[in-house]
Amino acid sequence: MSPSAARMLGASRQEPTDSTPVWFMRQAGRSLPEYRLLRQRMTLLEMVRDPAVCCQVTCMPVELLGVDAAVLFADIMLPLEGMGVPFQMEDGVGPVVTDPIRTEDQIDALRVVAAEEATPYLFEGIRLARRELGGRAALIGFGPSPFTLACYLVEGRGSRDFPHVRALMYAQPSLWSRLMRTLTEVLSRYLLAQVDSGAQLVQVFDSWAGVLDEHSYRESVAPHLSKLFGDLRTAAPAIYFSTGSPHLLGAIAEIGAPGISVDWRLPLREAWSRVGPDFFLQGNLDPALVLSRWEDLERGARAVLKGAGGQPGHIFNLGHGVLPDSDPSQLRRLVEFVHEFSGEYRAPARDRGPV
Ligand code: CP3
């Protein structure tokens, strides 16, 4: 195994590593000219549905940026392929569900099929990418959380605070829980099939969890996440991502995800003290710093590494995805800096005695 893959997997087991592993959410997107070139002649979904292109884009950031992990090139909407729900990806908007799912009949009509049957091309893309990487970097699979997928299904598209989703959850709790159970079943199969195809870690994106209050999250969302992470427990290390959710951290610590991704609003040191020592943490540089001068970016990166305190079990990342205007050379320099500076920083940690 390469140092990169060993770093990622070691950190996910909270073992000491030679330096802090680093990758970026949305590292394989519009910030890369090589991606934009391909994208000129194919739509996003055409790219995802072609295993050779999927593999090529998945592996691209490993060469270009030097990151320790490749993340599967797909979108959080892909699990809908097998459920019989038509959707499109609109430029500049994101996913749009043609006919939002809000009634009992629509929820009952959602299909649960074998993942390999729903998106065979995706699992082929994973197998190709794993072979292509040859261990040079770890391969991360991903999917949406049941809640975040429900957000797009019910609202029909992105929204500031998803009022129709919250209304369904409050007004029809048993219908809501049926919807969540169906989505959890689909996502469990989807993520386990990614691991079977070669994904070495998986990340669950709960991008919109932050719109919920803690009570609703605990009552209507967390039980389904516990089921999902329970299913994944013996398959691969799993990371739970959410944003705008510091008020949910106590509840998040109870859903059974071994890894928690933290956005830039909460210092890692504080996050760790709130969830306790049994988790690996990912994050949490403000993505907007990548658009700033190198001096600002370096100061921010240093603060993140210091906040992690050289503790085993930190995966460096941004607090959310790479912004499309980001300069890849800044990202590349950031990767080099994290690798170098984390080693330098870790030296005094020997005084802490056995870990
Ligand atoms: O390197 C990678 O991370 C690429 C793989 C990836 C994509 N989407 C491809 C994509 C990943 C991990 C995602 C996750 C995703 N998709 C999330 C969760 C992460 C987050 O940001 O919170 C969400 C909410 C989506 C839904 C989605 N897809 C949105 C909101 C958009 C943006 C619309 C826009 O144009 O700004 C998309 C489109 C999308 N998915 C792109 C990529 C590379 C945009 C570029 C393009 O159309 O070529």
Residue with the nearest Cα to atom 5 of ligand 1?
Answer: 73
Domains of the chain, CATH where assigned: 3-345 (3.20.20.210)
Judge whether 318 and 285 are in contact, CB under 8 Å: yes
Q: For residue range 93-119, what is the model confidence (pLDDT) as tens digits?
A: 999 999 999 999 999 999 999 999 999
For the Cβ of 207 lying below 6 angstroms from any atom of ligand 1, the answer is yes
Q: For residue range 144-188, what is the model confidence (pLDDT) as tens digits?
A: 999 999 999 999 999 999 999 999 999 999 999 999 999 999 999
Look up the pTM and report it: 0.96
Q: What are phi and psi of 50, to 5 degrees?
A: -105, 105
- Judge whether residue 224 has pLDDT over 80: yes
Of the candidates 97, 79, 108, the residue with the CA atom closest to the CA atom of residue 178: 108
Distance from the Cα of residue 312 to its chain's centroid: 20
**Residue in 7, 35, 152, 346 annotated catalytic:** 152
- Judge whether residue 354 has pLDDT over 90: no
Atom of ligand 1 lying closest to residue 321 CA: 21
Judge whether 181 and 111 are in contact, CB under 8 Å: no
Q: For residue range 322-347, what is the model confidence (pLDDT) as tens digits?
A: 999 999 999 999 999 999 998 776 64
User: How far is Cα 41 from Cα 39, in angstroms, rounded to an integer?
Assistant: 5
For the Cβ of 143 lying below 6 angstroms from any atom of ligand 1, the answer is no
For the Cβ of 75 lying below 6 angstroms from any atom of ligand 1, the answer is yes
Q: Which residues contact 340 (CB under 8 A, 6 or more apart)?
A: 19
- 259-261 and 280-285 beta bridge pairing: parallel
For helices 173-197 and 163-171, give the axis angle rounded to 10 degrees: 120
What is the distance in A from the centroid of ligand 1 to the CA of 246?
23
What is the distance in A from the centroid of ligand 1 to the CA of 205?
11
Q: For residue range 69-93, what is the model confidence (pLDDT) as tens digits?
A: 999 999 999 999 999 999 999 998 9
